[in-house]
Amino acid sequence: MKFKEINPSPRTLMTPGPVEADPRVLRAMGAHILGQFDPEFTALMNETMEMERYVFQTQNKMTYLVDTTSRGGLETVLTGAICPGDKVLIPAFGRFGYLLAEILERCGADITLLEREWGTVFEPEEIEEALKKDSYKAVAFIHGETSTSMMQPLKEIGEICEKYGALLIVDAVATLGGAEVHVDDWKLSACISGTQKCISAPSGSALITYNEQIEEIVKKRKKVEKGIRTADDVNGSLAGIPSNYLDLAQLEDYWSPRRLNHHTEATSMQYAVHEALRCIMDETLEARWARHSLNDKALCAGLNAMGLSIFGDIEHKMPVVTAINIPEGVDGKVIRGTLLNEFGIEIATSFGPLDGKILRIGNMGYSSQKRNILILLGALEAVMLQNHVKIATGEGVAAAMEVYKNAEK
């Protein structure tokens, strides 16, 4: 036949997602299919919820999966919690802040954008000032802005939002499982993540959690489908949710003991996430955060020693993404192409104003390994030299190795 079986070339994925799935996760997906209401399968769904609560550091009952990629999980939570006309403040410090605005505009929310230069984060005072000036139903924030590599501290902002009575809805797609996220401690009303970054499963599922305040809103927006409605079902008092597929109310019914039929749960992705969460529990979150942090330190030491410059406000850089300024006269596409085609290593470009100006290196999940950091630094040195960039040869890998050596002491 013209079409061959799947047989991908070897790849080391050092982009900010998708990254390599843990081999345990890939193996779990090979298990045969269970029916969606098979007690063995619903038991797995419940276990997934329980493990997800650990990973999100939350006690929220409503902690489950949406059968979309992370973007769909964001839309599900945002359009479930925010009604048409609700005022939402979006402090945007990169592309994904605009995505939150885009999603909310489509569902009729009244958006106020606070903008900041790409490569920086917000001060808590800026948020407080905005909340003082006007009253908002919610603040929607990116935690790790992969387009710029910046990470927004959220603890103080959670307190400010609580003080001013605004929900705080957070996109932790890039950080969950790699950098610290504490949903309850930080007073996040809702938090959304994906699978293809630090969780190290394939893309195709979104992890979500939200508190009772949002549960209450969802209850008031609920509408049960005619085909399966019973006499006990009443329609809610708030505006209905715009999408049927991305409907938090129906998803809640499906993930709760009622198990009301909605979509058919994505069986193999459920297996994948279940195993990915088990991997995190085996490693523990603390060890996982430390691993990402150490690999980040080694990577940055290597880049600095080589003489490459790291983009943005270093103090607020995510430990799981590093952006480097593309040296003058060099085409980023050529660097990426050579790394991919000659070394089988993938790194990423950026978007919008940073497109062609920075290269982004991911250090996420299963891909976050000493071996990958060292291999990448060696390859990057060779490719930079090939492109006539003046760098300190032999320094990059050595500096990274020194970081690892010191960490062992």
390 in contact with a second copy (CB under 8 A): no
Strands (E), 153-221: 167-171, 190-194, 206-210
Element (H, E) at 300: helix 285-306
119 in contact with a second copy (CB under 8 A): no
225 in contact with a second copy (CB under 8 A): yes
CA distances to 146, 293, 352, 359 from 349, rounded to whole Å, are: 11, 22, 10, 5
State the binding string over 84-113 for a second copy (x if CB under 8 A, else -). ----------xxx-xx-xxx--xx------
The interface region with a second copy, picked from 178-186, 208-216, 240-248, 294-302 by CB under 8 A, is: 240-248
343 in contact with a second copy (CB under 8 A): no
262 in contact with a second copy (CB under 8 A): yes
242 in contact with a second copy (CB under 8 A): yes
Place of tokens 């523990």: 284
Whether residue 135 contacts residue 86, with contact meaning beta carbons closer than 8 Å, is answered with: no
204 in contact with a second copy (CB under 8 A): yes
40 in contact with a second copy (CB under 8 A): yes
368: amino acid identity, one letter: S
Distance CA 42, CA 296 (A): 38
Place of tokens 């019914």: 253
Find out whether 360 is annotated in a ligand binding site.
Answer: yes
The interface region with a second copy, picked from 13-21, 130-138, 154-162, 315-323 by CB under 8 A, is: 13-21
352 in contact with a second copy (CB under 8 A): yes
How big is the site for a second copy, counted in residues (CB under 8 A)?
Answer: 89
**Cα Rg of the chain, angstroms:** 22
The interface region with a second copy, picked from 24-32, 181-189, 312-320, 385-393 by CB under 8 A, is: 24-32
Encoding tokens for residue 121?
Answer: 């984060």
Residue 352: which region, alpha, beta or left (left: phi > 0; alpha: psi -120 to 50)? left
Q: Which of 42, 57, 58, 68 binds a second copy (CB under 8 A)?
A: 68
264 burial (CB, 10 Å; 0-12 / 13-18 / 19+) is: exposed
Secondary structure letter of residue 310 according to DSSP: B
271: amino acid identity, one letter: Y
231 in contact with a second copy (CB under 8 A): no
How many residues can be counted in the chain? 409
Q: Which of 42, 60, 70, 175 binds a second copy (CB under 8 A)?
A: 70
Residue 189 CB, nearest distance to a second copy (Å)?
A: 21
Bind-site residues = 360
Annotated binding residues for substrate: 360
